[in-house]
Chains A and B, each alone.
Chain A
Amino acid sequence: MTESISANAGEDGGLPSTDEAALERLKRFGGGKLLGEMITLYLEAAPERLRAARTGLETSDIKATEMALHALKSSSAQLGAMRMQRLCERGEALARSGTLENVAGLVSSLEEEFPRVQDWLERARRPEVA
């Protein structure tokens, strides 16, 4: 694994960021067309959900933060954005337990991770370039 070590690499134990198998699965469900549409929807919705999580934190709205992280977890998992899925899962679990303490760090990690996932998905959407 050649990826540089980020501030929270210790928490993530060097687990992979993304999973190609998820993309292959989507192709099996509905071909390149479904994969492309799913990627487009994800790239539209993920920044909105990150913003909603951030706003939830700023306004101490536990439920809104939890809902935003839950939705982002679900779509990240389906598209193979595994590190995002794990970060969301931890944040969602904290929010569900009634605290937003330590969630801000996870949301910052998500904001850092998203551009990498975006690059990866944009490449997957244009298979001829790969």
Chain B
Amino acid sequence: MKKITYIILGMSLLALSSCYKKDNWAEPDVQIHGNIIDFYTQKPLLSSQGDWSIRYWEKSWTESAAQPRELPVKQDGTYNNNKQFAGAYDMLPYGGPFWPVVDTVRSVAFGGSTQQDFTVTPYLQVVDLTTSLSGTDLTITCRLKAPKRVGLPNLVEVKPYLSLTTFVGESNYINIAEYNNKRIQINKSWIDENGNVETSKLYTIGPLPVKSGYTYNVRVGANVNDANRKYNYSEIKQVIVP
């Protein structure tokens, strides 16, 4: 009886082990990472988590046509992915709040830990962010800057973002009518709105009702009517409501 049990156990072990098959392809272990540099500030672009992505095409794989894949850009203006196959890739920052990048970066060699930075020219900069509290009413002011105004698509809106976490922007904010309805919809050209000057007038948003005892992370986004309408952001300001 015992013998039979051992035989069955042994056979099933053998049988099951045939299911274990090691892939003949090495697992993807290459890291690609880098910064998206703001041309004006030479610092990483102020972004919102996953708002837009870097497109990349694997060119060393030729069995089928390369389809674009995406590397989402993080809030701090960096991107990172450590599960890539080694090979040659084309890369392009695409669909973000900046003047379209015309030149795809060709044949980036992914291997080990590869860093590839990109420099982009944002449409707008959101500067001079101030916040002021009056009781539980928050008022925000800011200005926009457009260093490059020729061919700039129409301004669309200036929108406040509030969040109770440190992630704040279009991809994560308190999405309620009380805040959204206070956004400033412009829909005019920069020249019509501000004249041909680099820095805009002061935009005041509010009052926004906030709750006592909470800490808010606040920033402002502004966008233009390009094909993507993504936002350029201000720095994040923390507001502690007593």
Q: Do A and B bind each other?
A: no
